[in-house]
Structure formats: C-alpha cells, structure tokens
Chains A and B, each alone.
Chain A
Amino acid sequence: MFEISPTEWTAILLSLRVAVIATLVATPFGIALAWLLARRDFWGKSLLDAAVHLPLVLPPVVTGYLLLLTFGKRGLVGGWLADHLGIVFAFRWTGAALACGVMSFPLLVRPIRLSIEAVDRRLEQAAETLGAAPWRVFATVTLPLALPGVLAGMVLGFAKAIGEFGATITFVSNIPGETQTISSAIYSLIQTPDGDTAAARLVIVSVVLAVGALIAAEVFARRATARLHGH
C-alpha cells in the first residue's frame, strides 16, 4: 500500500517544486504589498486590498481562465514575455507555479500584513532618531520584528500552493511530468478504474504536508509574540 510509484513521485516532486518556486517568487511582492497596506494611506487602497483577496473568492476556474487569457501564448502579457524574454507559461510547470502563486497570494499577504501592523511604530520612530533612513528602519526594525509573520505567511502560502487545483488545471492542464501536480494526479487517479489505492497514497501525502504546514505556521506565530516582548 505504501510503495509510492515513480509516477506518483513525479507528481509529488513537481508539486514541491511548483510550490517552492511560487512561494519564493511571491514573497518579496507579498512583503512589499503587506507593508503598503499596513503602513501607507493612498488613493485606491481599499481597491488594492480587494484585488489581493480576489483569488480567494473568485471561482478558481475563473482565475485560471483569466491567467490563460493574460499569460497564454496569445495573451497580452504571455505573448510579450514569450517574444522578448523567452518565458513561456502556457502548459509548462512555470505556468503551474504562476497559478499557484496567484492563488496562494492572499494567504501569504495576510499574516505578513498583520505582523507588520503589530510592530510598534514608536520603535520605528526611535530608529529614525538614531539616524536610520526609512528603508533602513524597515530593514533593521520592522522586517526583523515581523519576520515570524513573514515565515507564517510563507508556510501558509506554500501549503495552499501545494494543494492548488482549479486554476492550475484550467491554465496549464494536466500533463504528467510537466503540469500534473499531486492534486491533478489524484483527480486523474479517481477517474481511473484501479486508481483508488494510488489516490489514497497521494491523499495521505497531501494531508501530511498540509498539517505539517499548519503546525509550522503556528510555531512561527508563537515565536512572533516572544520576539515582540524582547525575551
């Protein structure tokens, strides 16, 4: 029962690669956006906030289709990227990473934003009186104090990315070895007559990864509290 087959390994490793790349690429954008939402007031802020949360409430198939329209080979952005930079998303694992990154973005941003909001602004002020330029205040005070929240956001985003299904299959289809992630593989297996045991194995792998991520996120959240109190 627990002999994982090469095809299943391929799906597991692809999922891990897709989720890791999606998380690593999304994190800097997530931090920048979280900081904007937490610390700045500007015109259109609530609009931006809503846009960030959109993938959470839109049907995943709609998000996937919109990605296809935008980043597909004939899409506005996808066509330009393919012609000028040679980056292709359509039906590639990179496209899966893009879909997972977009879908997990709200979950990534939220803990980071909350942890930046929790950083005492009086400490940032103190840093400023000691000669720190605004970006150095961010780098030496705000970000280190918000770091556990950043890690929590990354773990949650990763967990979401590794299980993403709807947007991924719509955007890049279900190609074994290229775009077939754990979720797509489970979907294929439960439609195959003898796929039940294989599907069950992948289900267990998913559950273990998801629970592990939640525990890790909780651990980081606790560390955040200790850090803010200087122990």
Chain B
Amino acid sequence: MLRVDIQKQLGEFSLAASFTSEGRVTGLFGASGSGKTSLINTIAGLLRPDRGTIVIDGETVDDTAAGIHVPTWRRRIGYVFQDARLFPHLDIRQNLDYGRRMNGLTEDPAQHKRVVDLLDIGALLDRRPGKLSGGERQRVALGRALLSKPRLLLLDEPLGALDESRKLEILPYLVRLRDEAGVPMVYVSHDAAELRQLATQIVMLRRGQVTAFGGVKVLTAGV
C-alpha cells in the first residue's frame, strides 16, 4: 500500500498530491511539467516534502509534523530512471549485485536466476554498460532495482528514452514484471497507451495538482 499526502514548493511550481493506492501498478499520468517526476522523487525521498506524510507498506517514511524523513537509502525502494544510470565502472553482474551488497542481503541464487531469466539478460552479465543498447540497459536497470528486494518499485518514464520498436521490446517484460515479480510499482508516464497496458490505478496530474484518481478508465475520461 502507498499513501501520499504532500505539498512541495519548487520555485514557482507548487506540487500538492493526495492519494492512497492499493494497486499493483499505480500510474502517474500527466504532461511534462505536471509534477510527475517531482512526485516520484518525493516518494523516493530524493525530495523532502514541505508538509505532509508518505506511508510505504505501512511504514511512515515522511511525516513533517512528526519530523520524520527516512533517507532514500533506508526506504527499501527500487528506482528505475529514464536514463538507466548503470554504474560505468562495474560490469553487468556487479551492477545487478549492487543493491544486495548495499542492503547486506544474503545471496539468493534462485531469485537472481528468476530475475535474469525474466528480463533475458543472462547473455549480458560479463559486459560493460557502455557496450549495451538502450533497451538492454533499461532491462538491466530493472533487474538491478528488483534484486535489491524493494517493497516498492518506482519507474520514471522507463521507456521515455527509447524509440518505438525498443519500447515494444521492453513492454512485455514490464507486463511480466507486474504479473510475476510481486512488487507494487509506481509508474510515471505521459503516454496513455503505455499506462493502459500496465497500470491498475491512475493518478492524473496537472500543473502539480491531482485532477483524477481511479481505474484505468480515467485515462479515457480525462483526455
């Protein structure tokens, strides 16, 4: 479960969002500049709300009234960025293993194999990020986030930097992830078609305000 009720002033832009989502994939939908990325960064703890609360999986990670702000690295979240942000000095195997090491988790070969198979990245393990295509990088970034065993997976336009054919290449993996990985996701996109395929609940944002919340059908009603 994810509960968000926050306000944040960013220069001239003010963000105010309040919603509770039980869905497997919560889609944050809106045009660019609507505050989607600021909102997901606030959930990640990269931005600190001016006022309000955020509860992830029953744990209060932000509560301005109580002075609570759990730093990003202790939130046990996974985050897939639009630009994959793989570590260039590590090979793919080490990139995938990074979150496990940082969280002090014991090795879990079964889980590792499951994720590697799910994303078809077994052939890439010994390569360097610089040698991968954009689509391959994004699949590795997904795997890296999953293998840190997050309780919430945040995805900020993970297909945004890919061309049409690459998008079609990655989408099925995301669908499998939703159905098989068992980790709730928050998925940011400005593409209604993408969200129709993936999301189970939609938070619609416009100029920093939530304008609609509900099932995927709000996409049709709102646009």
A: residues with CB less than 8 A from B are 120, 122-123, 125-134, 136-137, 140-141, 144-145, 227-231
Contacts and interface: CB of A to CB of B under 8 A. Distances in A.
B89 A126 contact: no
A227 B87 CA distance: 10
A144 B130 CA distance: 16
A229 B88 contact: yes
Enumerate the 8 nearest inter-chain pairs by beta-carbon distance, A residue then B residue, closest first: A230-B130, A230-B88, A129-B79, A130-B99, A126-B85, A131-B103, A131-B102, A132-B102
Given A126-B79, A230-B130, 7 more contacts: A123-B88, A125-B72, A130-B73, A130-B102, A131-B99, A140-B102, A230-B89
Interface string B78-92: 110101011111000
A122 B102 contact: no
Q: Is the interface of B mostly helix, strand, loop or mixed?
A: mixed
B130 A128 contact: no
A162 B87 CA distance: 37
Contacts, number: 76
Contact of B88 (A127, A130, A136, A145): A145
A144 B44 CA distance: 25
A126 B71 CA distance: 13
A229 B130 contact: yes
Interface in B46-100: 46, 71-74, 76-79, 81, 83, 85-89, 98-99
B81 A122 contact: yes
Contact of A126 (B76, B81, B130): B81
B85 A122 contact: yes
B196 interface: no
A96 B148 CA distance: 50
B127 to A, nearest CB: 10
A122 B87 CA distance: 10
Nearest to B154: A129
A96 B68 CA distance: 52
Contacts of B145: 129-130
A204 B205 CA distance: 71
Interface in B139-174: 144-145, 148, 154
A130 B46 contact: no
Contacts of A125: 46, 72, 85
A147 to B, nearest CB: 8
Contact of A131 (B76, B86, B130, B131): B76
Contacts of B46: 125, 128-129
B72 A129 contact: yes
B88 A132 contact: no
A145 B72 contact: no
